[in-house]
Amino acid sequence: MHGLIFFYIQKFAEALALGTSGQARLRTTVTTAGKTYLPSRAYPDAEAVSLLTNVAEAADRPLGDMLREFGIFLAPHLVKVAGRHIDRAWRTLDLVEHTESVIHAMIRSTTPGATPPVIQTVRLAPDELQLVYTSERQLCRLAVGIVTGLGRHFAEFVEVHEDTCMLRGDPFCSFVLRTRAADTHDSGGVHAETVVLPAGSRASPAGDVAITGRAVDGVDEDLPATIGSHRILRLLGRGGMGRVYLAYDERLQREVAIKTMHRAKADDPAARQRFLRESRATAAVEHEHVVTIHQVGEEPLPGRPHGVPFLVMQRLAGRPLHTVRDEAGPLPLREVLRIGREIATGLHAAHAAGLIHRDMKPENVFLEGPSRRVKIIDFGLVSDASDDANRLTTDGTIIGTPAYMAPERIGSDATVDSRADLFSLGVMLYELLARKLPFEGTSLVSMLAAISRGRPRPLGEAAPDVPPDVAALVMRLIAHDPGDRPADAATVATEIEVIEQRLADRDP
């Protein structure tokens, strides 16, 4: 375990109000123990557990309760220590989502002997996140305490649904985290707390969380004046990888969108490589249904060995598919088919260039203009088809969006090719036609398990009005075995075109 944790264990012990006898015991068992722990080194896990056990015994408290209290104590200190790796716009779930990369930048890359826990996350909504935690130390109570402490630090209420737990014999812990603004009392104080709910339980109405998007008002304390000689106009949005700005290209006198990488992410070499790969891969594909990349660069940062990577892309006027899906209600069959055909032709162009997107989902399909022409965006997980599809993943993390992830992507030793993108396309088409996903689950784990089992309800049953040939094509796209799916994206586009022509002939 990293020496920084030992340093704060001792500070925590010193801060406890245990009375004279308790303080004396702590001085002999923790704070003045014969060994000095340096924050820059790593030490055996057993020593940390021993110190925390001593603290719990001296305080006459159960170890689990003491771990949670230590986590609450630790959280704001970690935020402060990790300052340069943390985006100032982040809140509780943002920081939890990026914990793996912050740990990598601060600990794994500088202290090879340290073995921090593996933290896997999937962001379901601005106020909801799924998390899987694994560690030989089984200090999940400490993890919950840290989440609680982060909530207090950011003045947010945190609700934790716990699906599985190592302390109950499960191989890992899995949580669903939801946040809302903390209660502000008349005295002006802020109350932020964490409620931990076991599997299957629900919060009381007062604790329920409304999942709503967080508006971006264009005001940003870190808004740069220029990026890559482009004048920045305002912030368009934030995502897991970085920020997107509206900018003006003075040379060509046009508005563009600039995506920059989070500074914290930029400190992680693997993450930097993924971002640059997205930029180069997308720029290499010239197709009407793939977003156009104008420039790839790196904005220098004073006093740092590397800058912040960015890409300049065309500004798109329209809305992403998931927004249209949620707001417009069921889309007409012919429009769903057109969207599917245009996605397939865009994917074919990428695949022909040897590229696999690996994160096809409604959020990455932009519908441009009144005609809602498809533009595939955000090739953030793109890989060269000749490479190992998992080479660029950070150790222990799940990369991609589970609901649309092909089953062969779930196994780390599985071969992934372009047919994984076709599976994702099939899931999107199923969802548009049936108004529900073919593989469902209440958590990351249950969702992955449903995909791994590969037994979706036939589309013809879920949406009886869908023509049989359409249902058959969609079910082939989401076949569990890649060999049972269509051969390539061009084949899919052709099959959809034949169906469209049949419908046009029947109902001109």
Domains of the chain: 1-61 (no CATH), 68-200 (3.90.1520.10), 226-314 (3.30.200.20), 318-506 (1.10.510.10)
Is residue 359 part of the annotated active site? The answer reads yes
How high does pLDDT run on average in the chain?
77
More confident residue, 400 or 221: 400
Say if residue 310's pLDDT is above 80.
Answer: yes
> Taking Cα atoms as reference points, which of 387, 323, 328, 392 lies closest to residue 361?
323
Looking at 197-332, list the stretches that DSSP marks H as alpha helix, in order from N- to C-terminal side: 263-266, 269-283, 321-328
Q: Give the confidence band of 24 by pLDDT, cuts at 50, 70, 90.
A: low
Q: Could you tell me if 150 and 79 are in contact, meaning their C-beta atoms sit under 8 angstroms apart?
A: yes
Using a pLDDT cut of 70, give the percent of the chain over it. Answer: 75
Query: Residue 329 burial by CB count (10 A; 0-12/13-18/19+): exposed, middle or buried?
Result: exposed
Cα–Cα distance list, 123 to 132, 299, 369, 401 (Å) = 12, 27, 28, 9
Distance CA 175, CA 145 (A): 13
Quickly state the pLDDT bin for 464 (edges 50, 70, 90): very high
Q: Side-chain half-sphere of 62: how many Cα atoms within 13 Å?
A: 5
Distance of CA 366 to the CA centre of its chain: 19
- At residue 494, the 3 state secondary structure works out as helix
Q: Residue 271 — pLDDT band, cuts 50, 70, 90?
A: confident
Rg (the chain; Cα; Å): 25
| Start-to-end C-alpha separation, the chain | 69
The average pLDDT across 183-210 equals 38
Range with the largest mean pLDDT of 235-239, 443-447, 448-452: 448-452
Say yes or no to pLDDT of 355 above 90: no
Confidence grade of residue 110 (pLDDT, cut at 50, 70, 90): low
The residue ranking higher by pLDDT, 413 or 369, is 369
- Predicted local confidence at residue 195, as pLDDT: 47
pLDDT greater than 80 at residue 358: yes
Q: What was the pLDDT predicted at 486?
A: 97
Q: Which residue has the tokens 């049949």?
A: 502
Residues 188, 182: Cα–Cα separation, whole Å: 12
CA atoms lying within 13 Å on the CB side of residue 69: 17
The alpha-helical segments, DSSP class H, found in 60-210 are: 63-81, 92-97, 99-103, 140-153
How many CB atoms lie under 10 A from the CB of residue 491? 14
Highest mean pLDDT of the ranges 159-168, 330-339, 383-392: 330-339
pLDDT at 19: 47
pLDDT band at 431 (very low <50, low <70, confident <90, very high): very high
Q: What single-letter DSSP state applies at residue 42?
A: B
CA distance 106 to 228: 28
The mean pLDDT of 39-55, rounded to a whole number, is 73
* pLDDT for residue 266 is more than 80: no
26-33: average pLDDT: 50
Task: Indicate the range of 154-168, 303-317, 356-370, 375-389 predicted with least confidence.
Answer: 375-389
Structure tokens at 440: 């469902």
266/489: higher pLDDT: 489
User: If you average pLDDT over residues 364-368, what whole number do you get?
Assistant: 93
**Residues with Cβ within 8 Å of residue 379, at least 6 apart in sequence:** 278, 281, 282, 350, 355, 357
pLDDT at residue 2 in the model = 62
Higher pLDDT residue, 445 or 491? 491
Three-class SS of residue 46?
helix
Q: Which of 249, 359, 378, 421 is catalytic?
A: 359
Question: What is the per-residue pLDDT for 214?
Answer: 31
User: Average pLDDT of 272-281?
Assistant: 77
Are 257 and 315 in contact by the 8 Å Cβ rule? The answer is yes
DSSP annotation string for 394-455: PTT---S-GGG--HHHHSTTS---THHHHHHHHHHHHHHHHSS-SS--SSHHHHHHHHHHT-
Give the residue with greater pLDDT, 427 vs 4.
427
Stated pTM of the model = 0.63
Is 274 or 96 the better-scoring residue by pLDDT? 96
> Residue 35: its pLDDT value, please?
61
Is the predicted pLDDT of residue 267 greater than 60, yes or no? yes
Can you tell me the mean pLDDT for 90-118? Answer: 70
Q: What is the pLDDT of residue 109?
A: 53
Beta strands 156-164; 194-198: pairing state: parallel
Mean pLDDT of the 286-305 span: 85
